[in-house]
Amino acid sequence: MTGVVLLTLTALGGCRREARVHTVTLAGSTSVQPFAELLAEVFMSRHPEISVNVQGGGSSAGIEAALSGAADIGMSSRHLLPAEQAQLRPVLIAQDAVAVVVHPSNPVRGLTRDQARDIFAGRIRNWSQVGGPPSAIHVILREEGSGTRASFEEMIMEGSDPDPRALVQDSNGAVRETVAHDPGAIGYISLGLVDERVRPVSIDGMTPSVPAVLEGRYQLVRPFLFVLKGEPREPALLFLDFVLGPGQAILREEGLIPAAKGSGNP
């Protein structure tokens, strides 16, 4: 009896196992993760012999995983540091705009880059200083180490320290949730996550949108990178080819800005 059960189990397990003889592991940025999962799903339906595992952990963890070989491909939503660049090869798979968002009831429609920096650095502390109502500004940041935060600081803060009084939320979704419920709040999130509950403000007169990014009119843009150590194994290479080829249409559909073939890919 036990033998029969065991046999059946192995047979059942075998059906799936037998088909997928190769595994590709991805780990890293939680911003890239949902897109990578979607790509993996489509890829696996085309390549029944390859199974693609996508894990989160954050950009820095992804880079670490690629360095140590724990993952075939690391995912990062920030540029590599010089030290990392020496050992890893970044491949741009798409670009994502970062939008500065406020509560929909906030009359402030736009900020200059300097104003944005001063707000996030805690030097401007009241909305009346930037043409809004006389109420305190509640700054919301991502946590230290986040790719979204690193990109935002690189693009806007220009070396200024972020306000230590600022609230810190640990995901794009939590930042959006907080801004959506607080009329005095300001934060930054991925453009793909902006919905009617928050309003993006223009920076230096440029309103964030996919066309504006494509035409180069909006410059708060960060890379979505796959990072590789050395020459990847065959199945990982296949997946990479898929992402840079047919996968680009999927990414565009999901609201990302496709990586122009070749550009930014050393």
Partner 1 sequence: MKGREWLIHRLLVVVAFSSLSLLGLIAVFIFAGGIPIMAQVGLGEFLAGTRWAPTRGHFGILPMIVGSLWVTAGALVLGVPVALACAMYLSEVASEGVGRVVKPALELLAGIPSVVYGFLGLVLLVPLIRQFLGGPGFSVLAAACVLAVMILPTVTSVSYDALRAVPPTYREGSLALGATRWQTISMSVLPAARSGILAGVILGMGRAVGETMAVIMVAGNATLVPVSPLDPVRTLTSNIALELGYAAGKHREALFATGVVLFLIIMVLNLVAGAVAGRGKSR
Q: Is 248 in the site for partner 1 (CB under 8 A)?
A: no
Our finding on whether 138 is near partner 1 (CB under 8 A) is yes
Minimum separation from the CB atom of position 27 to partner 1 (A): 11
In angstroms, give the least distance from the CB of 28 to partner 1.
10
| Residue 63 contacts partner 1 per CB under 8 A | yes
Q: Which of 161, 195, 253, 254 binds partner 1 (CB under 8 A)?
A: 161
> If DSSP codes are grouped into helix, strand and coil, which group holds residue 186?
strand
Q: Which residues pair with 225 in a beta bridge?
A: 76, 92
* 182 lines the binding site for partner 1 (CB under 8 A): yes
Could you tell me the end-to-end alpha-carbon distance of the chain, in angstroms, rounded to an integer? 60
158 belongs to the binding site for partner 1 (CB under 8 A): no
Q: Which residues of 7-23 are buried (b: 16+ CB within 10 A; e: fewer)?
A: eeeeeeeeeeeeeeeee
Under rule CB under 8 A, residue 58 binds partner 1: yes
Q: What DSSP string runs through 79-120?
A: PPPHHHHTT-EEEEEEEEEEEEEE-TT----EE-HHHHHHHH
Which residue among 170, 195, 241, 254 contacts partner 1 (CB under 8 A)? Answer: 170
* 3-class DSSP string for 135-181: CECEEEEECCCCHHHHHHHHHHHCCCCCCCCCEEECCHHHHHHHHHH
**Of 25, 42, 64, 219, which lies in the binding site for partner 1, with binding defined by CB under 8 A?**
64
Residue 232, interface with partner 1 (CB under 8 A)? no
Q: How far is the CB of 264 from partner 1 (least distance, A)?
A: 23
Distance CA 67, CA 235 (A): 18
| Nearest CB to partner 1, comparing residues 171 and 209 | 171
143 binds partner 1 (CB under 8 A): yes
User: Is residue 160 near partner 1 by the rule CB under 8 A?
Assistant: no
CA distances from 263 to 94, 223, 258, 266 (A): 11, 12, 11, 8
Is 236 a residue that touches partner 1 (CB under 8 A)? no
Binding footprint of partner 1 on the chain (CB under 8 A): 30, 56-61, 63-64, 138, 143-147, 161, 164-170, 177-178, 181-182, 184-185
